[in-house]
Amino acid sequence: MSETGNGRKNWTRVVAAVGLVFLAVAGGIVLANANKVINKTEKKDEETPLISIGFSQVGAESEWRTGNSISIKTTFSQKRGYDLIFKDAQQQQEQQIKAIRGFIQQDVNYIVLAPVVETGWDTVLKEAKKAKIPVIIADRQVKVKDDSLYTTWVGADFYQEGQKACSWMEQYAERNKKKTLNIVHIMGTEGATAQIGRTKALEEATKKNGWNILEQQTGAFTQAKSHEVMEEYLKKYKDIDMVYCENDSEALGAINAIEQAGKKVGTDGIQIISFDATREGLAEVQNGKIAVDVECNPDFGKKIEKIIKQLEYKRDVNKEYYIGDKIYTQNKSISTIEIEKAKWSVTVVTDKIVKERVY
Ligand code: GYE
């Protein structure tokens, strides 16, 4: 009995113990949940405020620019912790200055400026400095008397991009035993860093190699304007070897104009040189219509974000950040690009490359 009694006691004890454990666990869960609720509400109250960014974009003149705007908008979304005020200046500096003044008035945390041209920014950037708003320059550069008017710059080495294109042109001339090249030049927006650098490289190579620039006019980095310019060139010059376009939109305009005039581009035709390597540009490289396309990657939203994070943590940042570029061709007939001692191998455009290109 005692055994039975003890057994029953023990059994009761076990039941009681299990019950206690259960209660403890259940209580724990309730407590934990209560805590969670408390924590959640506490967290909500403490939520980090959004970082506000005023972004002044050049415009929407090219596929490159569209890609760049998408990169900025997707990086600085509300979901990712930002309040982005995005202003498109339609290629007008006055509109950019107005936008920056608006950002200052709204007392944003950061101003990001993609300047249409290099000069004319001193006054408005002084105003931003006075308001203690850090300014990040994106893509093209600014020329200001006092470098402390902006925090940093992110973009490509446009002069080097031009040199890469010219190295390809030199090798093309050599392989085809051409003593000179008759070049028509469609420039980008005059005074923009991308135009200045790419033009400088061409003019230097022209001098060095004894090439012949038949004419230089701006195509404003747009397809429509470049189409017009190319039509004019074709009426004036019968012996064009090459068109040096300063972006893919210009190249597309030039190709259309040449084909509409009943002439050929590519092998046995006029050679098209281009920059950016957008999806459309790369497709034309693959088709053999653009001879060489030097990449300029517009997808640098994340790079700017990294800089902003460093600034948030009060870390020092560099004064400039360069974004690397590839060189795209249809085949490897010219496989290595050389500038002084530096070398790059070209990338042959494949279906996969075109397909994966988002801008
Ligand atoms: O090449 C062109 C755009 O500044 C790098 O501007 C940028 C240039 C780019 O309109 O397509």
Concatenate the DSSP letters of all residues of 189-205 into one string.
STT-HHHHHHHHHHHHH
What are the pLDDT digits (tens) for 22-80?
A: 444 444 444 444 443 434 444 444 678 999 999 999 999 999 999 999 999 999 999 99
- Quote the strand ranges of 231-280, DSSP E: 242-245, 271-276
What are the pLDDT digits (tens) for 174-233?
A: 999 999 999 999 999 999 999 999 999 999 999 999 999 999 999 999 999 999 999 999
Closest protein CA for atom 5 of ligand 1 = 194
Compute the residue count for the chain: 359
Residues 6+ apart with CB under 8 A from 312: 51
- Ligand 1 first shell, C-beta below 6 A: 61-62, 64-65, 139-140, 192, 194, 221, 247, 249, 275-276, 296
Q: Which atom of ligand 1 is nearest to the CA of 222?
A: 10
Cα 288 to chain center, whole Å? 25
Which residue shows structure tokens 């950002």? 103
* Cross-strand pairs, 292: 273, 329
Q: Give distance in angstroms: CA of 194 to centre of ligand 1.
A: 6
Q: Please say if the pLDDT value at position 17 is more than 90.
A: no
Mean pLDDT for 157-169 is 98
Question: Of 235, 240, 242, whose CA–CA distance to 202 is shortest?
Answer: 242
SS3 1: coil
Q: Give distance in angstroms: CA of 279 to centre of ligand 1.
A: 14
98 vs 87: CA distance, rounded Å? 10
Give the whole-number percent of the chain exceeding pLDDT 70.
87
Q: Give distance in angstroms: CA of 65 to centre of ligand 1.
A: 6
Of 57, 63, 64, best ligand 1 pocket probe by most atoms within 8 Å of the beta carbon: 64
Q: Which domains does the chain have, with CATH numbers?
A: 51-156+299-322 (3.40.50.2300), 158-296+326-356 (3.40.50.2300)
CA atoms within 13 A on the CB side of 99: 26
Question: C-alpha angle 120/306/75, rounded to 5°?
Answer: 85
Q: Report if pTM > 0.85.
A: yes
Lookup: tokens for 218: 């701006």
pLDDT at 3: 37
Q: Please say if the pLDDT value at position 6 is more than 60.
A: no
Lookup: tokens for 259: 């084909």
Give the whole-number percent of the chain exceeding pLDDT 90.
85
- Quote the strand ranges of the chain, DSSP E: 51-57, 82-88, 110-113, 135-138, 152-155, 182-187, 212-218, 242-245, 271-276, 292-295, 320-322, 327-329, 336-339, 342-345, 347-348
- Name the pLDDT band for 108 (thresholds 50, 70, 90): very high
Q: Give distance in angstroms: CA of 88 to centre of ligand 1.
A: 15
Q: Which helix (H) or strand (E) holds 252?
A: helix 248-260
Of 91, 296, 300, 325, best ligand 1 pocket probe by most atoms within 8 Å of the beta carbon: 296
- 81, 50 contact by CB (below 8 A): yes
Q: Give distance in angstroms: CA of 352 to centre of ligand 1.
A: 24
Closest protein CA for atom 7 of ligand 1 = 194
Q: Which atom of ligand 1 is nearest to the CA of 158?
A: 5
Q: Give distance in angstroms: CA of 322 to centre of ligand 1.
A: 15
